Amino acid sequence: MRSHHLMLGTAALALAAFTTAVSPSEAQASETLDAVKAKGHLQCGVSTGLAGFSFTGADGDWDGFDVALCRAMAAGIFGDPKAVKFTPTTGKTRFTALASGEVDVLARNTTWTMSRDADLKFEFTGVNYYDGQGFMVPKSLGVTSAHELDGATVCIQTGTTTELNLADFFRANNMSYEPVPIETNAEAQQKYLANACDAYTTDASGLAATRATFENPKDHVILPEIISKEPLGPLVRHGDPEWGDIARWTLNALLIAEEKGITQANVQDMAQTSEDPEVRRLLGAEGEYGKMLGLDNDWAIKAISAGGNYGELFAHYLGTETDIGLERGLNALWNQGGIQYAPPYR
């Protein structure tokens, strides 16, 4: 009996030693975070332009749903959502820009796949938009289904998962097509409107964003078929898990904020008045969770203050009240019929 107690006591001491070894105050530093702080800004890779997701306004500043994630990261790190510079990338150049260190994080409609994760040595840090590949055609073509596209010419961005998905779909359905390769969404839009291709295929959200910029959006139809899974999200390089944690938990913080009713307008008040334990942990009123990331304890307050919670960002840039007009669908929270879900903040 005494030996059993001795074993329990030894295990307790070992657990205490382990807990001390990984205490927040001694969390391993991130080389990328140190480099970002040294240059005074975050370098974020975005698309070359996609309405709602990443675009430049009349003042030349970058804005959009993906851009907002980088601004939230910058706010969490520096306390300033403007402490970020943007590098536009194409489907071909985006991975080189990240691998070479030209950008610190890539936030531009990029699909999480096994080969990109394991072979290209990138770390996806979450899904900020659950999507799927679709097709858009002129209404005048009279096509109502993708299964009617046998023999069609199709505008397709090179260096993307959509190339492979397109080939798989037509092969599986014993149909033929002629690809019209393009580099950017702007080029795709130009060729599609010039009738250089019968259909344009990309992520359904991208089709909706592109159509919203047309002079006569109602003259174009997004076909009902979704032919793939496209979990879109931010990614960083392998080799610096602490930096990956910052990107991952910035997105998670915005999701938890929506779930808990924390908004851009009330975040400061919630930090002082909320009695919800998870809210208190997230907003730095309880514990030292910021230190685990190498950030200030109120980092999440700053990140949420930058543009709002996940739902606010979706509604502002992509939602039904915008020209793009996207429903939340799969991107609704898990307790509201969707699958967006953040791990517990504890």
pTM to 2 decimals? 0.89
Q: Which pLDDT score, from 0 to 100, does residue 21 have?
A: 40
pLDDT band at 16 (very low <50, low <70, confident <90, very high): very low
The pLDDT assigned to 142 comes to 97
pLDDT band for 5, please (50, 70, 90 cuts): very low
- The residues that bridge with 86 in the sheet, in sequence order, are 44
Cβ–Cβ contacts within 10 Å for residue 56, how many?
Answer: 15
Alpha-carbon gap, residue 68 to 63, rounded angstroms: 7
147-181 pLDDT, tens per residue?
A: 999 999 999 998 888 999 999 999 999 999 999 99
The DSSP secondary-structure symbol of 333 reads B
Q: Is the pLDDT of residue 9 over 80?
A: no
Encode pLDDT of 263-274 as tens digits: 999 999 999 999
Domains of the chain: residue spans and CATH: 31-130+232-336 (3.40.190.10), 133-228 (3.40.190.10)
Question: What value does the mean pLDDT of the chain take?
Answer: 92
Rounded Cα distance between 10 and 218, Å, is 72
Contacts of 99 (CB under 8 A, 6+ apart): 120, 121, 122, 237
- Mean pLDDT for the stretch of residues 250-266: 98
Confidence of residue 29 (pLDDT cuts 50, 70, 90): confident
**What pLDDT is attached to residue 71?**
98
Average of per-residue pLDDT across 250-261: 98
Instruction: Determine whether 157 is exposed, middle or buried from the number of CB atoms within 10 Å of its CB (0-12, 13-18, 19+).
Output: buried
Strands 199-203, 152-157: pairing kind: parallel
What confidence tens digit (pLDDT) does each residue in 106-117 have?
999 999 999 999
